[in-house]
Amino acid sequence: MSILLTQDTRIIVQGITGNQGRFHTRQMLAFGSRVVGGISPTKSGQMVEGVPVFDTVRQAVDATKADASIVFVPAPYAKDAAFEALENGIRLLVMIPEHIPVQDSIDIVARAKALGATVIGPNTFGIISPGEHTKMGIMPNHIYQPGPIGVVARSGTLSYEIAFSLTNAQLGQSTVVGMGGDPVVGQTFITVLEHFRQDPDTKAVVMVGEIGGSAEEEAAEYLETLGKPVVAYLAGRAAPAGKRMGHAGAIIERGRGTLESKEQALRAHGAEVVTMPWQVAEAVRSVMS
């Protein structure tokens, strides 16, 4: 089983004729994702990897009954693409681009909330449900395997590192969700954990966080409601205050967003907090036994 994304999810790719869109459409199809269409204005009638291309989301939705979209357009055009998807009935929206202006993200997230749609990202690697053989994202296909562990992460490569270590320890994943590295993103740890709570096949959850903001602190209190074991690993112990560590959102500002306060809050509410990424799999094994 999985959360948010299943084999029935019908996916379109906005920006399918670009390099990224094309490459990842192929990868998604190889993993088993039901990619039913792509969008690229003035390119309708073309095929990309056997997938029909449309000029508008409306045409694609009419022709394919798509209900989810993954966006690969450059950041300055991302707000337009997101609104086009939302206004045409897309209810699961994965925003891959980095460097989308925060004001645009605020508008996208607010509109999605009003329409009851789910936004993953921006600046995310996406979402993958190995047991359902489907993904919407840019993560490598070979590092996942089906299983009972839910993973929610802020960062891409670090989550790959951890997912692969779980796979190597025979701890498969139900769904892996990338929230995104920007200051304003569609999901919080709490919204994703709530989905994991409702999924009977998710038996334990791994949280991969980092410095900046207070998403981890906010999530801590929710862990008791979750009622499933949680292992947390957070990056940024060695990060100085006031410096952006790559992600726009990874910054300790005016004394807020430190690792210490996050780890303390998570521990206080029952999470098993490990300090190095290679300790995650062992900790998951122990909380599950």
Partner 1 sequence: MKQYEYLAKGTLKAYGIPIPPGQLVRTPEDGAEAVATIGPAALKAQVLVGGRGKAGGIRFAQTPEEGRRVAQDMLGMDLKGYTVELLYAESKLAIERELYISVTTDRNAKKPLVMASLAGGMEIEDVADDQIVKAYVDPAVGVLPYFGREVAAALGLEGTIFKEFADLVVKLYQIYREKDAELVEINPLAVVDGHLVAADARLNLDDSALYRHKDVTVVDEGSALERKVHEIGLAYVELDGDIAVMANGAGMAMATLDAIQHFGGRPANFLDAGGGASVGPTAEALGVLVSMHPKAILVNIFGGITRCDDVASAILQVKQTTGIPVPLVVRLVGTNEKEGVALLKAAGIEAYSEMAEAAEQAVRLAKEAM
Q: Count the residues in the chain.
A: 289
CA distance 224 to 243: 33
Does residue 20 have a known ligand-binding role?
A: yes
Q: Select from 61-69, 87-95, 195-203, 209-217 the region that touches partner 1 (CB under 8 A).
A: 209-217
CB of 116 to partner 1, least distance (A): 15
Contact 122, 185 (CB under 8 A): yes
Chain-centre distance of CA 176, in angstroms? 7
State which H helix or E strand residue 177 sits in. strand 173-178
Residue 46 or 183: the one with the smaller Cβ distance to partner 1 is 183
198 is a site residue for partner 1 (CB under 8 A): no
13 is a site residue for partner 1 (CB under 8 A): no
Which amino acid is present at 133? H
CA distance 205 to 176: 10
Which amino acid is present at 11? I
231 is a site residue for partner 1 (CB under 8 A): no
- DSSP for 122-158, please give it: SS--EEEEGGGTEEEESS-GGG--EEEEEEEES-HHH
Q: How many residues bind partner 1 (CB under 8 A)?
A: 62
Which of these, 96, 211, 219, 203, lies nearest to 151 by C-alpha position?
203
Q: Tell which one of 15, 150, 181, 229 touches partner 1 (CB under 8 A).
A: 181
139 is a site residue for partner 1 (CB under 8 A): yes
CA distance 125 to 164: 15
Residues in contact with partner 1, shown as a per-residue x/- string from 142 to 171 under the rule CB under 8 A: -x---------xxxxxxxxx--x-------
CA distance 77 to 203: 39
**235-254 positions binding partner 1, by CB under 8 A:** 235-240, 243-250, 254
76 is a site residue for partner 1 (CB under 8 A): yes
CB of 181 to partner 1, least distance (A): 6
In terms of DSSP H, where are the helices of 100-245? Answer: 102-115, 156-168, 189-198, 215-220, 223-226
Q: Tell which one of 47, 110, 115, 268 touches partner 1 (CB under 8 A).
A: 110
24 catalytically annotated = no
Q: Select from 29-37, 47-55, 139-147, 195-203 the region that touches partner 1 (CB under 8 A).
A: 139-147
- In the annotated binding site for CoA, the residues are 17-20, 43
Interacting residue ranges for partner 1, rule: CB under 8 A: 75-76, 99-107, 109-111, 114, 125, 138-140, 143, 153-161, 164, 181, 183-185, 188, 208, 210-211, 213-215, 218, 235-240, 243-250, 254-255, 275-278
- In the annotated binding site for substrate, the residues are 160
The residues that are catalytic are 247
